[in-house]
Amino acid sequence: VLLLAYFALQVIYARRKYKISPPETAGHPEFERIFRAQANCSEYFPIFVSLLWVAGIFFHQGAAAACGLLYLYARFKYFQGYTVAAQGRLGPMYASARVLWLLMGLAVAGLLAHFLLP
């Protein structure tokens, strides 16, 4: 939640810097990159939290927590890269997607073990 708050504050600061009042979402290219980075991170947050929760309950809390920290770090690097240049988001975006797939695998493995094994 703190990371999302940080991203939202960056959008607020960019709105002030480039004099773009809400609900406007277009304007200076740097503002648009910051706005899109924040929106993209917010869109993926429910998926991340859901997978983290299921993996933590049904697989292992430590493994889920480690994946959660990796994901948050990758998203932070994604935001930083995207604010500089659109191409700067690609490496961290792929890294965060891999972590989401890993969390998905852990969640599925935990659910299968819980419901299918005696």
pLDDT in tens, 57-89: 999 999 999 999 999 999 999 999 999 999 999
Query: What would the two tokens of residue 28 be?
Result: 């200076």
Residues with active-site annotation: 16, 89
The band of 1, judged by pLDDT with boundaries at 50, 70 and 90, is: confident
Helix orientation angle between 61-84 and 2-18, rounded to the nearest 10 degrees: 10
Q: Which of 48, 64, 66 is nearest to 56 (CA)?
A: 64
Contact in structure between 109 and 56 (CB atoms under 8 Å): no
∠ CA(29), CA(32), CA(37), 5° rounding?
Answer: 130
pTM of the model: 0.93
Mean of pLDDT values over 14-35: 95
What is residue 87's DSSP assignment? Answer: G
Q: At which residue do the structure tokens 């493994």 appear? A: 63
Architecture of domain 1-116 in this structure: Up-down Bundle (1.20)
For the chain, the C-alpha Rg in angstroms (whole number) is 17
3-state percent helix, strand, coil for the chain, nearest multiple of 5: 85, 0, 15
